[in-house]
Amino acid sequence: MGASTKTKPVKVLIADDDPIVRQVVRSILESASPFAIAGEAEDGSQACEMVVQTAPDILLLDLLMPNLPGLETLRQITAGDMGVHTILLCSAISDRQVLEALQLGARGVVLKSAVAELVPALQAVMAGRYWVRGRAVSNVVQIVQELAQEAQTSASPAKKFGLTPRELQVISLITQGSTNKDAANSLGITEETVKRHLTNIFDKVGMSNRLELAVFALEHGLIKR
Amino acid sequence: MKRAAEHELKARLREVWMRTRSIIEERISVLESTVSTLQSAPLSADQRASGISAAHKLAGSLGMFGLNDASECARSIENALSLETPDSEELKQLLARLRTAVQAHKVATEA
């Protein structure tokens, strides 16, 4: 009984809309015992169907997919109590999304730029642990508390308003009194592009003129005093 | 043991790269066409959507092959194309950086 349990393959379902990602994951897991590919899903809806059909032990789930986004797929799978452990496999994820994923029942998060973590993450999750921020953790409550605290305190003003690095450069120049033409010369872009950046910036921060923007930037720490 | 695992991973990634490099090229071509259109006219909804999709997929797949800078460029392109008025000059620079990094990887991997 013990020996047969040890050799039983761990069935993995890969859900990602990118065939390259699926091929990389398949290739890595096929070379690593005891993993076996249960199937591949190209979107969230198909992932939900295939979890029912193939009863995998692990679902590797992309965050952004057509039809049904990753977190919504996770919500449905968790609600269905299908006995599958879900690990998010994504190219980028915010702490807030990690927190949400864990609250929705995810057992781990692996970044696509860290595929070397894939096998250790699966092993940790199969051993009843979680895999977050590149390490196995047993105490998920502690991780959730850490993430919740950081999500509250670490959001920079720029992130809060969704400003890009280029927009911050434009804000900095405008606040120093540069004209659109000066800003365009400093940044090596056209005056028209500076105007478009300003329109986007005004939309994002809810201001309507340069003076308001300068005061707002200083008050919210968007530029150094 | 760790070194053997790293070697195995590298070999697997190389093998998938060789099999899928044409898809990467196609995605870069989609972005080149998107940026080229943007320099003379606004993008249609379909053009914008296919550009965003190509950039999104490149961000994920290039990261898997260890091309982190190219992956970041793709992510920035995805974000820029999501803006109401994308900056074509900025996109052009990002795309050139992405293309250079992919080309260098090709030379190193396919030699």
Q: Which of B12, B66, B75 lies closest to A27 in CB terms?
A: B12
B56-78: average pLDDT: 94
Q: Which of B16, B60, B90 lies closest to A112 in CB terms?
A: B60
Rounded to a whole number of angstroms, the distance from the CA of A202 to the nearest CA of chain B is: 13
Please provide the size of chain A in residues.
225
pLDDT value at residue A159: 66
Residue A7 has pLDDT above 60, yes or no: yes
User: Choosing among A30, A113, A123, A167, which should be mutated to test the B contact, i.e. which has the most B CBs within 10 A?
Assistant: A113
Q: What residues of A are in the B interface, CB distance below 8 Å?
A: 16-21, 23-24, 27-28, 31, 62, 64, 90-92, 111-113, 115-116, 164, 166, 189-190, 193, 196-197, 199-200, 203
Tell me whether strands A10-15 and A35-41 are parallel, antiparallel or unpaired.
parallel
Residue contact B90–A193, C-beta within 8 A: yes
Rounded to a whole number of angstroms, the distance from the CA of A51 to the nearest CA of chain B is: 23
B74-89: average pLDDT: 89
pLDDT value at residue A217: 83
Residue A11 has pLDDT above 70, yes or no: yes
Residue B46 has pLDDT above 90, yes or no: yes
pLDDT value at residue A2: 44
Rounded to a whole number of angstroms, the distance from the CA of A18 to the nearest CA of chain B is: 6
Residue A85: half-sphere exposure toward Cβ, Cα within 13 Å: 19
Residue A88 has pLDDT above 70, yes or no: yes
SS3 string of chain B? CHHHHHHHHHHHHHHHHHHHHHHHHHHHHHHHHHHHHHCCCCCCHHHHHHHHHHHHHHHHHHHHCCCHHHHHHHHHHHHHHHCCCCCHHHHHHHHHHHHHHHHHHHHHHHC
> Tens digits of per-residue pLDDT, A90-132?
988 888 788 889 888 999 999 999 999 999 999 999 999 999 9
ipTM tops the 0.90 cut: yes
Using pLDDT thresholds of 50, 70 and 90, give the confidence band for residue B62. Answer: very high
Cβ contacts (< 8 Å) between A115 and chain B: which residues? 9, 13, 64
pLDDT value at residue A195: 87
Q: Which two tokens stand for residue B77?
A: 């392109």
pLDDT value at residue B78: 93
Cβ contacts (< 8 Å) between A193 and chain B: which residues? 87-90
Cβ contacts (< 8 Å) between A111 and chain B: which residues? 63
Longest Cα separation, chain A: 78
> Tens digits of per-residue pLDDT, A185-219?
888 888 888 888 898 888 888 888 887 888 788 77
Q: What share of chain A is helix, strand, coil (3-state, %, to 5)?
A: 55, 15, 30
Residue contact A91–B59, C-beta within 8 A: yes
> Tens digits of per-residue pLDDT, A137-188?
888 877 877 777 776 665 566 666 778 888 888 888 888 888 899 898 888 8
pLDDT value at residue A8: 85
B39-55: average pLDDT: 93
Residue A225 has pLDDT above 60, yes or no: no
pLDDT value at residue A1: 43
Instruction: Give the Cβ contact number of residue B15 at 10 Å.
Output: 13
pLDDT value at residue A157: 67
Reading phi first (left if > 0) and then psi (alpha if -120 to 50, else beta), residue A39 is in left
Using pLDDT thresholds of 50, 70 and 90, give the confidence band for residue A4. Answer: very low
Nearest-angstrom CA–CA distance, B55 and B74? 5
Residue B101 has pLDDT above 90, yes or no: yes
A29-39: average pLDDT: 91
Report field, pTM of the whole predicted structure over 0.80: no
B50-71: average pLDDT: 95
pLDDT value at residue A214: 81
pLDDT value at residue B72: 92
